[in-house]
Structure 1
Amino acid sequence: MSEYVMRTNQISKQYKQQWALRQVNLAIPKGAIYGFIGQNGAGKSTMIRLAAGLAFPTSGELELFGATGGQALTEARRRIGSIIEGPALYPQMSAADNLEAHRLLKGIPGRECVKRTLELVGLEGTGKKKAKNFSLGMKQRLGLGIALLGDPEFLILDEPINGLDPMGVVEIRQLLMKLNREYGITILISSHILSELHLLATHFGIIHHGRLLEQLTAAELNANCQQYLHIKVDDPHRAAFVIETALSTTDYEVSPDGTIKLFQFVHTPGKVSTALVGGGLVIEQFMPMGADLEAYFTSRIGGAAHE
């Protein structure tokens, strides 16, 4: 069995004279929550449409659950649930009736899955209330419920938190984490809300002007964005001794030019400066540094513009 739920090999998509995707090699590991990040028009939705079978590549190859080409891909897509361009709801129907209608459309046997899905997405108490009267967060949860009919192994979500209020965002985040951790569902989620993806995703892909700039794990992303104290003193070797003895840490780096990156005490810098001065050192530079998530993605996208 493939260790990847989805992979692409040099996949490109052209609409008339416009290239939406250019030779993209994307890999989504089984069990991941893959945050797909890019500006509007970067190619996120195009890739998602290719994955769901709503569009077809101009060139390159798409692989789902190890399957490629024709009928094998069609069969693999039976293992996928998706919300693309908003959930498809019947506004005059209740949550239960919406799920029942989609169950019949998908040819899923047995009605017991409707009750189970309502409970899973937290809509079991909505009774006969019509979907048109739901809050946006409830509509998104109902859309997720529809996508979950048939017990998919891979969930594809295009901007599922766009427009939600803070409580709605939290509800969707908690639900997606539950689906991933307790049910083992792999999730591809596209969003431009970077702060929320950072709380949710285990893997990231950054796309810009149709090109995949980078794929990295959450741990790699956090390392790239790590905050630290930038320190320059008159005697870096003595400073290293003071840091290890007075502050009891070895979590630092000394650069060839003598500057020090101290990765602890970022939020208590006074403790560090007091120790250094107490150790007889003259502080020449002392400041917190390091990129936050938005700054990191902006630097990657900005750099790509000049490549």
Structure 2
Amino acid sequence: MTDQDNALPRTVLLASPRSFCAGVERAIEMVERELDRRGAPVYVRKQIVHNTHVVNDLRERGAVFVEELAEVPNGSVVVFSAHGVAPAVHADARARGLTVVDATCPLVAKVHAEARRFATRGDTIVLIGHPGHEEVDGTLGEAPRAMVVVSTAAEVERLEVADAGKVSYLTQTTLGQDEVSEVVAALRARFPQLREPPSDDICYATTNRQNAVRAVLDEADVLLVIGSTNSSNTLRLVEMAQREGRDVHLIDGPADLDPAWLAHASTVAVTAGASAPPHLVDGVVAAIGELGPTTVTERSVIEETVRFTLPGREPTPPG
């Protein structure tokens, strides 16, 4: 690669929507509010959202991130992450005398409620998701005896259930539409009386960001996806582009940008997962601009107006 290669004029296509979703914004604000109210330390179980920059910023302000409640001193304040927790974790917190601030995304809480309802009516619940993900662990904890987790259509073929006429399914909110559709089709083939949730469990923001990427892929020589490696919705964006045979790179921020990736790229698409701060997008665009003349174009597929109310505050009007 030569300096002349990198000095070629480029177009940056910003896929929109991108970056923070309403659930992420709400969770971060809840930690910030507790820090403002009580001062440091405020304990947070797991990462509040799956992004290293968000976690590091909050840590600098006095948030203390722990893996398990045993690390939180009795009587302290603890924030539960946006991914939700199992009822057993809530019970443990009560037994320890902890003050709980529950930042579970309302869309995840919806899935928890569905799990309880389906279990009460006697269903075997198939949870489509990735084992070990925090959201899956929390949902599984709502009905552990009634629920099984599957990730692929192949796993559906190996399922054993008590009553094939009483099977329902739920999904992790951050999955790709394509992968969920394939698993649901396999479930319907095996269990014709399959019951579904009353509305799609996949988060609106996950779907919107995937659709936004689809809208720019055909024009882009390279796709840059901004987000951390443990962010499920971010990884789905990368996988979607890879399935289309596109040149795609996952970066945590501007410092990870390798100019060699853009050496022969005249059009660079940029997106960010739902837990990645908007300022990282600005930084990446600025870094691309340092390589040569750059024109920035935004390509929007939908305007997001969803806002989630903070507990104890007046609702925020859509915008």
TM-score (norm 2): 0.24
Which one has more relative contact order, counting CA pairs under 8 Å at least 6 apart? 2
Which of the two has higher C-alpha Rg? 1
Could you say which structure has the higher strand fraction? Answer: 1
TM-score (norm 1): 0.25
